[in-house]
Amino acid sequence: MTESSLIEVKNLKKYYEISQGLFKPKLVVKAVDDVSFSIKRGETFALVGESGCGKSTTGKTLLRLTDATSGEVRFKGEDILSLPYEKMRSLRKEMQMVFQDPYASLNPKMTIRQILLEPLRVHKKYSPEERMKKIVDILEIVGLSRSHLDRHPNEFSGGQRQRIGIARAVVLNPDFIIADEPVSALDVSVQSQVINLMLELQKEFGLTYLFISHDLSVVEHMTDRVAVMYLGKIVELADTEELFANPKHPYTQALISAVPVSHPKDVKERIVLKGDVPNPANPPSGCTFHTRCPFVMDKCKSVEPSLTEIGNGHITSCHLYSKNKEENINAIIYS
Amino acid sequence: METNTVTTTNQQIDLLVKKKSGFKDFFRKLSRSWTGMLGFSLIILLLLLSVFGGLIAPFDPMDAPLRERLLPPLTDGHILGTDQLGRDILSRIIAGTKVSVIIGLATALLAGLIGTVVGVIAGYFRGWIDVVLMRIVDVQLSFPFILLVLVISAVLGAGLTNIVISLALAGWVVFARVIRSEVLAIREKEFITAAIATGVPKFEILFRHILPNIFTPIIILVSLQMGTYIIAEASVSFLGFGVQPPTPAWGNMLNEGKDYIFSSWWLITFPGIAIIITTLGVNLFGDWLRDTLDPELKGE
């Protein structure tokens, strides 16, 4: 199984220190706290969770856009967190990113031609003529045309800009693309276009996606496996169908119950969580979800549950399912 | 056939978009604001005077017929009168324009260059170099500007080049501060993260992504600071450290005229008015430039 995984994440941690003043101890915010998962070649892996749960930080840490506190990220077997700057820069042609806000992720002073040529130029791919041909091709694939080449980003709509952002990520023929909420800033009507474009590109170029989102209906539609994050930790991980049909963790159950139903006459029982997400700088003891969990037990308040496999690659960290086994990290990584 | 029509329309739209940019767009925007227009006209007038002033001036600004000394305005063809040595004040003011424009422009460019380099290094690389550079800026900002100019020009000596250098050495800190904060804001933008993720080398990010995006604030600041430097030059010359007589500069005309302030008011009044009009013009234009090019309003 390991051979087929493109990227492996082991015990990834990203802590932020907040200075409280000269003589007070620093506050530590555990944005990403001991996260492990692996993504198989060609699959679409989703990270879901509410805002502030650390899913975007996880994505950025994987690409070393922020430095990890500790842990390991293996891309094609190579630990990229310890690579020197120049090697990492060169490796970036194989792993790209699509950003959340298409209005902020394109340089307003550059033309589309410059934006799309830049990745090819900095990685010295192809000759200048081939580069032009390549970017015109990719522009047509994402549904724009060569007449757009000399325009600036502000002359485009949000959906068009996101297509340009996707074209920039795909033009280098990467193996792996992290899409950080790629459609959350777009109109619903445009969202499906962009998602379908991403799925087409995946087929055409054999891409592997890490899809970061809080929109569960999008995740259900386009991903193969899902990891649910809460307060910097993965609380449940399973195949998408399995997760939506048979959610185990109370948090996942609540999330899925919040997805709107497609027909007004369909009745669904909605689990409404009490309270807000706790302050990540001061997380609750034991299971971090115990303050809001409808099934809370005494054990939850003191003992932190470990991730346990409950069959078929379905993993969750909840005392309701714990088999009193030792922590089985391998089950997570090699699932 | 239909696709053809669509393409033509697109091209026409392209043409329309293109036509609007550049000089036409500049004047269209300028004509909307009378203060901007006034400032711009005054700057053009100044530039023309400094280049062609020698042709317009009714008298030689250095010619000193002592018999015609301290003539009041509108006598014997001296529209603004003559000074204590009989020199025509209008001609001297016109000749002084050149000094003010050269000093204002050269200083703003030099100070802008130094300040931009320092600000970009501090803001982009951060770390200890940022701390060191910004503490230097802090220390220098705690000195009064004019005092600093006087100290530096006392060390360097008088002369046009030395005035420019001492004004720039005293004034670059303003640029460094503003440019650093601009760089800090830009480097947190998502398109910079995108450039890192693409694999763009550090220096290319600086030159291709950050510098083009701080160009506008640099231009605005250069135009706003020019007024400050013109006043500063006049002050330094008034105090006797700047442009040395008999070279006409507005500052030393004020200095020479101050002894006659009660008997011959025109000696000091007209150079003063020239300074006011010039700084007003430069500042009005700078304000308009800031309002028009303000990065927050850009791209709307």
A123 in contact with B, Cβ within 8 Å: yes
Closest CA to A75 of A90, A61, A89, A94: A94
pLDDT category of residue A327 using cuts at 50, 70 and 90? very low
In a domain, B23, yes or no: no
B20 in contact with A, Cβ within 8 Å: no
Q: Express each pLDDT in B151-205 by its tens digit.
A: 998 898 878 899 999 999 999 999 999 999 999 999 999 999 999 999 999 999 9
CATH of the domain at B88: 1.10.3720.10
CA distance, residue B107 to nearest chain A CA (Å)? 28
Please tell me the predicted confidence (pLDDT) of residue B8: 44
Please tell me the predicted confidence (pLDDT) of residue B297: 43
What's the average model confidence in pLDDT over B13-17?
A: 46
Amino acid type, A227 = A
- Side-chain-side CA neighbours of B252 within 13 Å: the count stands at 19
B197, A90: Cβ pair inside 8 Å?
no
Looking only at the bridges linking them, the beta strands covering A44-48 and A208-213 are: parallel
pLDDT category of residue B243 using cuts at 50, 70 and 90? confident
Q: Which residues of B53-80 are buried (b: 16+ CB within 10 A; e: fewer)?
A: beeebebebeebeeebeebeeeeeebeb
Q: Residue A167's Cα: distance from chain center in Å?
A: 19
User: Rounded distance, CA A181 to CA A168, Å?
Assistant: 16
pLDDT at B4 over 70: no
B13 in contact with A, Cβ within 8 Å: no
A99, B198: Cβ pair inside 8 Å?
no
pLDDT at B252 over 90: no
pLDDT at B211 over 50: yes
pLDDT category of residue B15 using cuts at 50, 70 and 90? very low
What's the average model confidence in pLDDT over A94-98?
A: 94
Please tell me the predicted confidence (pLDDT) of residue A3: 54
User: Rounded distance, CA A196 to CA A307, Å?
Assistant: 33
pLDDT at B245 over 90: no
Give yes or no for a contact between A170 and A201, defined as CB atoms under 8 angstroms apart: yes
Q: Express each pLDDT in A168-199 by its tens digit.
A: 999 999 999 999 999 888 888 889 889 999 99
What's the average model confidence in pLDDT over B98-115?
A: 93
Give yes or no for a contact between A3 and A328, defined as CB atoms under 8 angstroms apart: no
Give yes or no for a contact between A33 and A16, defined as CB atoms under 8 angstroms apart: no
What's the average model confidence in pLDDT over B267-278?
A: 92
A107, B191: Cβ pair inside 8 Å?
yes
* Average pLDDT over chain B, rounded to an integer: 86
Number of domains in chain B: 1
**Which A positions 55-84 lie with beta carbon below 8 A of chain B?**
60, 63, 65
**Residue in B15, B188, B198 to test binding to A, most A beta-carbons within 10 Å:** B198
With a pLDDT cut of 70, the percent of chain B lying above it is 90
In a domain, B12, yes or no: no
- State the CB neighbour count (10 A cutoff) for residue B122: 25
Nearest-CA residue of chain A relative to B189?
A104
Q: Residue B255's Cα: distance from chain center in Å?
A: 23
Residues ≥6 apart with Cβ < 8 Å to A44? A202, A208, A209, A211, A222, A223, A224, A225
A122, B198: Cβ pair inside 8 Å?
yes
Nearest-CA residue of chain A relative to B209?
A107
**Residue in A91, A103, A107 to test binding to B, most B beta-carbons within 10 Å:** A107
CA distance, residue B154 to nearest chain A CA (Å)? 43
Please tell me the predicted confidence (pLDDT) of residue A311: 78
User: Rounded distance, CA B217 to CA A88, Å?
Assistant: 34
Identify all chain B residues contacting A90, using CB atoms and an 8 Å cutoff: 199
What's the average model confidence in pLDDT over A64-83?
A: 91
Q: Shortest CB distance from B200 goes to which of A109, A122, A154?
A: A122
pLDDT category of residue A328 using cuts at 50, 70 and 90? very low
pLDDT at B293 over 80: no
What is the extent of the structural domain holding B201? 33-293
Give yes or no for a contact between B71 and B34, defined as CB atoms under 8 angstroms apart: no
In a domain, B300, yes or no: no
A147 in contact with B, Cβ within 8 Å: yes
A274-278, A317-321, B54-58, B168-172, range with greatest mean pLDDT: B168-172
**A–B interface: beta-carbon pairs under 8 A:** 65
In a domain, B17, yes or no: no
Nearest-CA residue of chain B relative to A107?
B191
Q: Express each pLDDT in A106-135 by its tens digit.
A: 999 899 999 999 999 999 988 999 999 999
Q: What is the DSSP string of B9-59?
A: HHHHHHHHHHHHSTHHHHHHHHTT-HHHHHHHHHHHHHHHHHHHHHHH-SS
B9 in contact with A, Cβ within 8 Å: no
Nearest-CA residue of chain A relative to B299?
A154
Amino acid type, A54 = G
CA distance, residue A167 to nearest chain B CA (Å)? 12
pLDDT at A98 over 60: yes
Helix axes A112-122, A158-170, angle to 10 degrees: 20
Q: Give backbone dihedrals phi and psi of B213, rounded to 5 degrees, phi first.
A: -85, -10
Q: Which residue has the higher pLDDT, A331 or B227?
A: B227
Give yes or no for a contact between B193 and B282, defined as CB atoms under 8 angstroms apart: no
Q: Residue A274's Cα: distance from chain center in Å?
A: 26
SS3 content of chain B, % helix, strand, coil (to 5): 75, 0, 20
pLDDT category of residue A322 using cuts at 50, 70 and 90? low
pLDDT at A302 over 80: yes
Q: Shortest CB distance from A92 goes to which of B198, B204, B208?
A: B198
Q: What is the pTM of this model?
A: 0.80
Alpha-carbon torsion, ordered A151, A157, A160, A164, to 10 deg: 50
Identify all chain B residues contacting A104, using CB atoms and an 8 Å cutoff: 189-191
In a domain, B147, yes or no: yes
B199, A89: Cβ pair inside 8 Å?
yes
User: Rounded distance, CA B96 to CA B103, Å?
Assistant: 11
Closest CA to A30 of A54, A59, A50: A54
From residue A57, alpha-carbon distances to A82, A140, A305, B202 in Å are 18, 32, 23, 22
From residue B217, alpha-carbon distances to A151, B39, B97, B186, B212 in Å are 23, 19, 27, 12, 10
Six-digit token string for A240: 């998408």
Q: Which residue has the higher pLDDT, A24 or B102?
A: B102
In a domain, B256, yes or no: yes
Identify all chain A residues contacting B196, using CB atoms and an 8 Å cutoff: 65
User: Rounded distance, CA B33 to CA B39, Å?
Assistant: 10
**Which B positions 279-298 lie with beta carbon below 8 A of chain A?**
298
B204, A123: Cβ pair inside 8 Å?
no
pLDDT at B294 over 80: no
Q: Which residue has the higher pLDDT, B220 or B294?
A: B220
Terminal Cα distance for chain B, rounded: 35
A226 by Cβ neighbours in 10 Å (0-12 / 13-18 / 19+) ranks as: buried
With a pLDDT cut of 70, the percent of chain A lying above it is 95
B204 in contact with A, Cβ within 8 Å: yes
pLDDT at A267 over 80: no
Helix (H) or strand (E) holding A8: strand A5-18
Asked if omega into B246 is within 30° of 0 (cis), the reply is yes
User: Where do the DSSP E strands lie in A76-183?
Assistant: 78-79, 95-98, 176-180
Please tell me the predicted confidence (pLDDT) of residue B21: 58
B208, A63: Cβ pair inside 8 Å?
no
In a domain, B87, yes or no: yes
Please tell me the predicted confidence (pLDDT) of residue A323: 56
Please tell me the predicted confidence (pLDDT) of residue A326: 47
If you search the block for the tokens 């100044």, which residue do you land on? Answer: B46
Q: Residue A41's Cα: distance from chain center in Å?
A: 15
With H, G, I as helix, E, B as strand and everything else as coil, classify residue A10.
strand
| C-alpha dihedral sign at B250, B256, B262, B267 | negative
Whether the ipTM is more than 0.85: the answer is yes
B16 in contact with A, Cβ within 8 Å: no
pLDDT at B148 over 80: yes
Identify all chain A residues contacting B209, using CB atoms and an 8 Å cutoff: 107
In a domain, B224, yes or no: yes
**Which B positions 209-268 lie with beta carbon below 8 A of chain A?**
209, 212-213
